[in-house]
Structure 1
Protein backbone atom coordinates (compact mmCIF):
# COMPACT_ATOMS: atom_id res chain seq x y z
CA UNK A 1 0.00 0.00 0.00
CA UNK A 2 1.47 3.33 -1.04
CA UNK A 3 0.12 6.58 0.28
CA UNK A 4 -0.01 9.35 -2.28
CA UNK A 5 1.62 12.55 -1.26
CA UNK A 6 1.76 16.13 -2.38
CA UNK A 7 5.34 16.75 -1.32
CA UNK A 8 6.95 19.24 -3.65
CA UNK A 9 10.64 20.08 -3.80
CA UNK A 10 11.72 23.69 -4.22
CA UNK A 11 14.06 22.58 -7.02
CA UNK A 12 13.98 19.67 -9.45
CA UNK A 13 15.32 16.51 -7.74
CA UNK A 14 14.86 12.77 -8.19
CA UNK A 15 11.44 11.66 -6.94
CA UNK A 16 13.00 9.14 -4.53
CA UNK A 17 13.75 11.99 -2.14
CA UNK A 18 10.15 13.15 -1.87
CA UNK A 19 8.69 9.63 -1.96
CA UNK A 20 10.75 8.44 1.02
CA UNK A 21 9.07 8.87 4.38
CA UNK A 22 8.80 6.87 7.61
CA UNK A 23 5.51 4.96 7.87
CA UNK A 24 4.61 3.01 11.00
CA UNK A 25 2.11 0.56 9.48
CA UNK A 26 3.92 -2.64 8.47
CA UNK A 27 2.62 -5.79 6.85
CA UNK A 28 3.51 -8.88 8.81
CA UNK A 29 5.21 -10.32 5.73
CA UNK A 30 8.76 -11.60 5.52
CA UNK A 31 11.26 -9.61 3.48
CA UNK A 32 13.38 -11.78 1.17
CA UNK A 33 17.03 -11.93 2.22
CA UNK A 34 18.06 -10.50 -1.15
CA UNK A 35 16.13 -7.27 -0.52
CA UNK A 36 17.51 -6.87 3.00
CA UNK A 37 21.07 -7.34 1.82
CA UNK A 38 20.65 -5.12 -1.24
CA UNK A 39 19.70 -2.24 1.07
CA UNK A 40 22.65 -3.02 3.36
CA UNK A 41 24.92 -3.22 0.32
CA UNK A 42 23.86 0.30 -0.66
CA UNK A 43 24.71 1.47 2.87
CA UNK A 44 28.14 -0.11 2.53
CA UNK A 45 28.87 2.17 -0.43
CA UNK A 46 28.27 5.39 1.50
CA UNK A 47 31.19 7.82 1.61
CA UNK A 48 33.14 8.02 4.85
CA UNK A 49 35.91 10.21 6.20
CA UNK A 50 39.31 8.71 5.45
CA UNK A 51 37.37 5.68 4.10
CA UNK A 52 37.09 4.35 7.68
CA UNK A 53 33.61 2.89 7.00
CA UNK A 54 32.66 3.01 10.70
CA UNK A 55 29.08 1.75 10.34
CA UNK A 56 27.95 -1.60 11.68
CA UNK A 57 24.54 -3.26 11.46
CA UNK A 58 22.96 -5.75 13.85
CA UNK A 59 20.05 -7.45 12.11
CA UNK A 60 17.01 -9.06 13.75
CA UNK A 61 15.02 -11.18 11.29
CA UNK A 62 13.98 -14.18 13.37
CA UNK A 63 11.20 -14.08 15.95
CA UNK A 64 13.70 -14.61 18.79
CA UNK A 65 16.04 -11.87 17.54
CA UNK A 66 13.18 -9.40 17.07
CA UNK A 67 11.90 -10.15 20.59
CA UNK A 68 15.41 -9.44 21.90
CA UNK A 69 15.22 -6.02 20.19
CA UNK A 70 11.70 -5.43 21.57
CA UNK A 71 13.17 -5.63 25.08
CA UNK A 72 14.94 -2.28 24.62
CA UNK A 73 12.59 -0.44 22.22
CA UNK A 74 10.45 2.11 24.08
CA UNK A 75 6.73 1.39 24.30
CA UNK A 76 5.68 4.21 21.95
CA UNK A 77 7.72 2.65 19.15
CA UNK A 78 7.31 -0.95 20.19
CA UNK A 79 3.52 -0.81 19.73
CA UNK A 80 3.90 -0.44 15.95
CA UNK A 81 7.42 -1.80 15.30
CA UNK A 82 6.52 -5.28 16.56
CA UNK A 83 4.88 -5.90 13.19
CA UNK A 84 8.03 -5.04 11.24
CA UNK A 85 9.64 -8.23 9.91
CA UNK A 86 13.17 -6.80 10.15
CA UNK A 87 14.80 -4.59 12.75
CA UNK A 88 18.32 -3.27 12.28
CA UNK A 89 20.46 -1.43 14.79
CA UNK A 90 22.77 1.10 13.13
CA UNK A 91 25.91 1.72 15.16
CA UNK A 92 29.39 3.02 14.48
CA UNK A 93 32.90 2.34 15.61
CA UNK A 94 34.07 5.41 17.53
CA UNK A 95 37.02 6.05 15.25
CA UNK A 96 37.60 9.41 13.61
CA UNK A 97 35.65 12.56 14.27
CA UNK A 98 32.87 11.91 11.76
CA UNK A 99 31.75 8.35 12.52
CA UNK A 100 28.23 9.53 13.41
CA UNK A 101 27.94 11.66 10.27
CA UNK A 102 29.24 8.81 8.10
CA UNK A 103 26.78 6.32 9.62
CA UNK A 104 23.94 8.77 9.00
CA UNK A 105 24.91 8.85 5.33
CA UNK A 106 24.94 5.05 5.30
CA UNK A 107 21.38 5.08 6.64
CA UNK A 108 20.37 7.49 3.87
CA UNK A 109 21.75 5.17 1.22
CA UNK A 110 20.06 2.21 2.94
CA UNK A 111 16.67 3.97 3.09
CA UNK A 112 16.75 5.00 -0.56
CA UNK A 113 17.70 1.50 -1.73
CA UNK A 114 14.96 0.01 0.46
CA UNK A 115 12.48 2.37 -1.20
CA UNK A 116 13.75 1.27 -4.62
CA UNK A 117 13.14 -2.34 -3.47
CA UNK A 118 9.50 -1.54 -2.60
CA UNK A 119 10.15 -1.45 1.14
CA UNK A 120 9.62 1.11 3.86
CA UNK A 121 11.97 2.16 6.64
CA UNK A 122 11.35 3.89 9.94
CA UNK A 123 14.36 4.89 12.05
CA UNK A 124 13.76 5.08 15.81
CA UNK A 125 15.74 6.98 18.39
CA UNK A 126 13.28 5.83 21.05
CA UNK A 127 15.15 2.89 22.51
CA UNK A 128 17.22 2.29 25.61
CA UNK A 129 20.79 2.40 24.33
CA UNK A 130 22.40 1.04 27.48
CA UNK A 131 20.00 -1.88 27.64
CA UNK A 132 20.58 -2.56 23.93
CA UNK A 133 24.33 -2.54 24.54
CA UNK A 134 23.94 -5.19 27.28
CA UNK A 135 21.33 -7.34 25.49
CA UNK A 136 23.26 -7.36 22.20
CA UNK A 137 26.70 -7.57 23.85
CA UNK A 138 28.04 -4.47 22.09
CA UNK A 139 31.56 -3.37 23.08
CA UNK A 140 32.11 0.16 24.41
CA UNK A 141 34.04 1.31 21.34
CA UNK A 142 30.76 1.42 19.37
CA UNK A 143 28.14 4.17 19.49
CA UNK A 144 24.50 3.19 19.02
CA UNK A 145 22.45 5.47 16.75
CA UNK A 146 19.08 4.16 15.63
CA UNK A 147 16.95 1.06 15.31
CA UNK A 148 15.42 0.86 11.84
CA UNK A 149 12.20 -1.02 11.15
CA UNK A 150 12.20 -2.46 7.62
CA UNK A 151 9.38 -4.13 5.72
CA UNK A 152 6.39 -3.70 3.46
CA UNK A 153 3.94 -0.90 4.03
CA UNK A 154 0.71 -1.99 5.68
CA UNK A 155 -2.69 -0.43 6.15
CA UNK A 156 -2.79 2.45 8.59
CA UNK A 157 -6.08 1.06 9.98
CA UNK A 158 -3.92 -1.43 11.91
CA UNK A 159 -2.54 1.45 13.99
CA UNK A 160 -4.10 3.23 16.96
CA UNK A 161 -6.26 6.24 16.08
CA UNK A 162 -3.49 8.55 17.38
CA UNK A 163 -0.90 6.95 15.08
CA UNK A 164 -3.33 6.80 12.16
CA UNK A 165 -3.61 10.60 12.32
CA UNK A 166 0.18 10.86 12.00
CA UNK A 167 0.54 8.22 9.25
CA UNK A 168 1.32 10.48 6.32
CA UNK A 169 4.40 11.97 4.70
CA UNK A 170 5.60 15.03 6.59
CA UNK A 171 6.34 18.36 5.02
CA UNK A 172 9.67 20.15 4.92
CA UNK A 173 10.60 23.75 5.65
CA UNK A 174 11.59 25.77 2.57
CA UNK A 175 15.20 25.37 1.48
CA UNK A 176 15.97 29.02 2.19
CA UNK A 177 15.32 28.39 5.92
CA UNK A 178 18.47 26.26 6.05
CA UNK A 179 20.94 28.20 3.93
CA UNK A 180 23.38 30.82 5.16
CA UNK A 181 25.68 32.26 2.55
CA UNK A 182 29.13 33.48 3.46
CA UNK A 183 28.56 33.29 7.23
CA UNK A 184 25.83 32.35 9.66
Structure 2
Protein backbone atom coordinates (compact mmCIF):
# COMPACT_ATOMS: atom_id res chain seq x y z
CA UNK A 1 0.00 0.00 0.00
CA UNK A 2 1.17 3.52 -0.73
CA UNK A 3 1.46 5.80 2.27
CA UNK A 4 -0.71 8.84 1.70
CA UNK A 5 -0.04 12.30 3.11
CA UNK A 6 -3.21 12.21 5.19
CA UNK A 7 -2.80 8.59 6.28
CA UNK A 8 -5.87 7.19 4.55
CA UNK A 9 -6.41 4.13 2.34
CA UNK A 10 -7.39 4.72 -1.28
CA UNK A 11 -8.64 2.33 -3.93
CA UNK A 12 -5.62 0.59 -5.45
CA UNK A 13 -6.22 1.89 -8.97
CA UNK A 14 -5.71 5.50 -7.87
CA UNK A 15 -2.30 4.87 -6.35
CA UNK A 16 -1.19 2.30 -8.95
CA UNK A 17 -2.05 4.43 -12.01
CA UNK A 18 1.06 5.97 -13.50
CA UNK A 19 1.86 7.60 -16.82
CA UNK A 20 4.19 5.04 -18.36
CA UNK A 21 6.27 5.25 -21.52
CA UNK A 22 7.29 1.58 -21.84
CA UNK A 23 4.53 -0.31 -23.64
CA UNK A 24 4.40 -3.90 -24.86
CA UNK A 25 2.97 -3.91 -28.38
CA UNK A 26 0.79 -7.01 -27.85
CA UNK A 27 -2.89 -6.39 -28.59
CA UNK A 28 -5.41 -5.70 -25.86
CA UNK A 29 -8.25 -8.20 -25.61
CA UNK A 30 -11.65 -6.98 -26.83
CA UNK A 31 -13.32 -7.68 -23.47
CA UNK A 32 -10.83 -5.35 -21.77
CA UNK A 33 -11.42 -2.65 -24.39
CA UNK A 34 -15.17 -3.03 -23.83
CA UNK A 35 -14.61 -2.53 -20.08
CA UNK A 36 -12.67 0.68 -20.85
CA UNK A 37 -15.54 1.94 -22.99
CA UNK A 38 -18.11 1.19 -20.29
CA UNK A 39 -15.98 2.92 -17.65
CA UNK A 40 -15.79 6.10 -19.74
CA UNK A 41 -19.48 5.84 -20.60
CA UNK A 42 -20.45 5.99 -16.92
CA UNK A 43 -18.49 9.16 -16.20
CA UNK A 44 -20.38 12.10 -14.70
CA UNK A 45 -21.24 15.04 -16.94
CA UNK A 46 -22.92 18.41 -16.58
CA UNK A 47 -26.66 18.00 -17.11
CA UNK A 48 -25.91 14.39 -18.17
CA UNK A 49 -24.88 15.84 -21.54
CA UNK A 50 -22.20 13.18 -22.12
CA UNK A 51 -20.31 15.41 -24.58
CA UNK A 52 -17.41 13.03 -25.12
CA UNK A 53 -16.75 11.62 -28.57
CA UNK A 54 -14.17 8.88 -28.16
CA UNK A 55 -12.37 7.12 -31.00
CA UNK A 56 -10.32 4.00 -30.30
CA UNK A 57 -7.58 3.27 -32.83
CA UNK A 58 -5.61 0.03 -32.86
CA UNK A 59 -3.92 -0.21 -36.23
CA UNK A 60 -4.09 0.66 -39.90
CA UNK A 61 -3.52 3.90 -41.72
CA UNK A 62 -5.39 5.94 -39.10
CA UNK A 63 -2.94 4.72 -36.47
CA UNK A 64 0.06 5.57 -38.64
CA UNK A 65 -1.40 9.04 -39.25
CA UNK A 66 -1.97 9.53 -35.50
CA UNK A 67 1.65 8.61 -34.84
CA UNK A 68 2.69 11.32 -37.30
CA UNK A 69 0.41 13.84 -35.55
CA UNK A 70 2.22 13.41 -32.23
CA UNK A 71 4.99 15.68 -31.01
CA UNK A 72 8.42 14.12 -31.53
CA UNK A 73 8.97 13.65 -27.80
CA UNK A 74 5.79 11.59 -27.54
CA UNK A 75 6.09 9.71 -30.82
CA UNK A 76 9.32 7.99 -29.78
CA UNK A 77 7.52 5.95 -27.11
CA UNK A 78 3.77 6.33 -27.84
CA UNK A 79 3.96 4.51 -31.16
CA UNK A 80 4.52 1.28 -29.21
CA UNK A 81 1.17 1.44 -27.36
CA UNK A 82 -1.29 -0.94 -29.07
CA UNK A 83 -4.26 1.38 -28.47
CA UNK A 84 -4.63 5.13 -28.97
CA UNK A 85 -7.83 6.66 -27.65
CA UNK A 86 -8.72 10.10 -28.98
CA UNK A 87 -10.98 12.11 -26.69
CA UNK A 88 -12.93 14.88 -28.40
CA UNK A 89 -15.99 16.93 -27.57
CA UNK A 90 -18.78 18.40 -29.61
CA UNK A 91 -18.97 22.15 -30.17
CA UNK A 92 -19.70 24.49 -27.24
CA UNK A 93 -23.27 25.76 -26.92
CA UNK A 94 -23.25 29.57 -27.26
CA UNK A 95 -26.51 29.70 -25.26
CA UNK A 96 -24.93 28.05 -22.19
CA UNK A 97 -22.33 30.01 -20.21
CA UNK A 98 -19.04 28.18 -19.73
CA UNK A 99 -20.19 25.27 -21.89
CA UNK A 100 -16.74 24.80 -23.45
CA UNK A 101 -15.07 24.49 -20.04
CA UNK A 102 -17.80 22.16 -18.75
CA UNK A 103 -17.48 19.91 -21.78
CA UNK A 104 -13.70 19.70 -21.38
CA UNK A 105 -14.17 18.84 -17.71
CA UNK A 106 -16.70 16.14 -18.58
CA UNK A 107 -14.33 14.63 -21.14
CA UNK A 108 -11.64 14.64 -18.46
CA UNK A 109 -13.93 12.68 -16.15
CA UNK A 110 -14.45 10.08 -18.90
CA UNK A 111 -10.70 9.88 -19.45
CA UNK A 112 -9.99 9.42 -15.75
CA UNK A 113 -12.61 6.66 -15.53
CA UNK A 114 -10.95 4.93 -18.49
CA UNK A 115 -7.47 5.25 -16.95
CA UNK A 116 -8.62 3.81 -13.63
CA UNK A 117 -10.40 0.91 -15.34
CA UNK A 118 -7.31 0.27 -17.47
CA UNK A 119 -5.25 0.03 -14.29
CA UNK A 120 -7.86 -2.34 -12.85
CA UNK A 121 -7.55 -4.49 -16.01
CA UNK A 122 -3.76 -4.73 -15.63
CA UNK A 123 -3.09 -2.19 -18.38
CA UNK A 124 -0.96 0.94 -18.33
CA UNK A 125 -1.81 4.40 -19.67
CA UNK A 126 -0.35 7.76 -20.60
CA UNK A 127 -2.43 10.80 -21.58
CA UNK A 128 -0.69 13.25 -23.87
CA UNK A 129 -1.32 16.80 -24.98
CA UNK A 130 1.55 17.05 -27.48
CA UNK A 131 -0.04 16.62 -30.90
CA UNK A 132 -1.21 18.60 -33.93
CA UNK A 133 -5.00 18.99 -33.76
CA UNK A 134 -5.47 19.36 -37.51
CA UNK A 135 -3.52 16.17 -38.18
CA UNK A 136 -5.39 14.26 -35.47
CA UNK A 137 -8.74 15.39 -36.89
CA UNK A 138 -7.67 14.41 -40.41
CA UNK A 139 -6.36 11.02 -39.27
CA UNK A 140 -9.68 9.84 -37.83
CA UNK A 141 -12.25 12.16 -39.41
CA UNK A 142 -13.13 14.40 -36.46
CA UNK A 143 -15.56 17.09 -37.70
CA UNK A 144 -14.31 20.69 -37.81
CA UNK A 145 -16.83 21.83 -35.19
CA UNK A 146 -15.46 19.36 -32.61
CA UNK A 147 -12.42 19.84 -30.38
CA UNK A 148 -9.77 17.22 -29.68
CA UNK A 149 -9.09 17.25 -25.93
CA UNK A 150 -6.32 14.70 -25.46
CA UNK A 151 -4.90 11.39 -26.64
CA UNK A 152 -4.58 8.41 -24.32
CA UNK A 153 -2.07 5.63 -24.95
CA UNK A 154 -3.09 2.27 -23.48
CA UNK A 155 -1.33 -1.09 -23.37
CA UNK A 156 0.44 -3.64 -21.26
CA UNK A 157 3.60 -2.50 -19.56
CA UNK A 158 6.75 -3.01 -21.60
CA UNK A 159 10.48 -3.36 -21.03
CA UNK A 160 12.20 -0.10 -20.12
CA UNK A 161 15.34 -1.40 -21.88
CA UNK A 162 13.49 -1.27 -25.20
CA UNK A 163 13.24 2.53 -24.88
CA UNK A 164 15.86 4.97 -26.10
CA UNK A 165 18.26 5.70 -23.27
CA UNK A 166 17.20 9.35 -22.94
CA UNK A 167 13.53 8.31 -22.48
CA UNK A 168 14.09 5.65 -19.79
CA UNK A 169 14.11 8.08 -16.83
CA UNK A 170 10.48 8.99 -17.63
CA UNK A 171 9.56 5.37 -16.93
CA UNK A 172 11.63 4.83 -13.80
CA UNK A 173 11.13 8.10 -11.93
CA UNK A 174 9.07 8.15 -8.75
CA UNK A 175 5.47 9.30 -8.88
CA UNK A 176 5.26 12.19 -6.40
CA UNK A 177 2.56 14.60 -5.30
CA UNK A 178 2.92 18.13 -3.97
CA UNK A 179 2.11 18.87 -0.35
CA UNK A 180 -1.60 18.80 0.51
CA UNK A 181 -1.52 22.37 1.87
CA UNK A 182 -0.24 23.71 -1.46
CA UNK A 183 -3.44 22.78 -3.29
CA UNK A 184 -6.18 22.15 -0.73
CA UNK A 185 -7.66 24.90 1.39
CA UNK A 186 -9.83 24.98 4.49
CA UNK A 187 -12.75 27.37 4.14
CA UNK A 188 -10.83 30.14 2.34
CA UNK A 189 -8.56 30.11 -0.68
CA UNK A 190 -4.96 30.02 0.53
CA UNK A 191 -5.77 28.72 4.02
CA UNK A 192 -4.00 25.35 3.94
CA UNK A 193 -5.92 22.19 4.72
CA UNK A 194 -4.47 20.55 7.81
CA UNK A 195 -6.66 17.44 7.91
TM-score for both structures, normalised by structure 1: 0.91
Answer whether contact 1:59 1:87 (CA < 8 A) is retained. yes
Residue of 168, 181, 187 corresponding to 1:176 = 181
Query: Any gaps of 5 or more consecutive residues in structure 1?
Result: 1-5
Correspondence 1:117-128 to 2 at 5 A: 117-128=121-132
Q: Secondary structure at the match of 2:23?
A: coil
Structure 2: 5+ residue stretches without partners: 94-98, 190-195
TM-superposed deviation, 1:71: 2.0
Aligned CA RMSD, in angstroms, stands at: 1.6
Please state how far the C-alpha of 1:53 moved relative to its aligned partner. 0.2
Asked if the contact 1:8/1:18 (under 8 Å) is kept, the reply is no
Equivalent residue of 2:161, what SS?
Answer: helix
Residue 71 of structure 1: SS of its match in structure 2? Answer: helix
In structure 1, C-alpha distance between the alignment counterparts of 2:72 and 2:34, rounded to whole Å: 28
SS at the partner of 1:167? helix
Give 2:16's aligned residue.
19
The reply on whether 1:77 has 2:74 as its aligned counterpart is yes
1:7 deviates by: 4.9
In terms of Rg, which structure is larger?
2
Match of 1:65 in 2: 62
1:16 touches 1:115 (CA, 8 Å); kept in 2?
yes
TM-score (norm 2): 0.86
Count of residue pairs brought into register by the alignment: 179
CA contact (8 A) 1:92 1:144 kept: yes
- Could you list the runs of 4 or more consecutive aligned residues of structure 1 that deviate by over 3 angstroms after TM superposition? none
CA contact (8 A) 1:9 1:18 kept: no
Give distance in 1, aligned partners of 2:32 and 2:62. 19
| 1:69-101 deviation per Cα after TM superposition (whole angstroms, max 9, x unaligned) | 112111111111111111111111134520000
Q: Distance in 1 between matches of 2:119 and 2:129?
A: 20
CA distance in 2 between partners of 1:7 and 1:182 (Å): 28
- Corresponding residue for residue 88 of structure 2: 91
Counterpart secondary structure, 1:176? helix
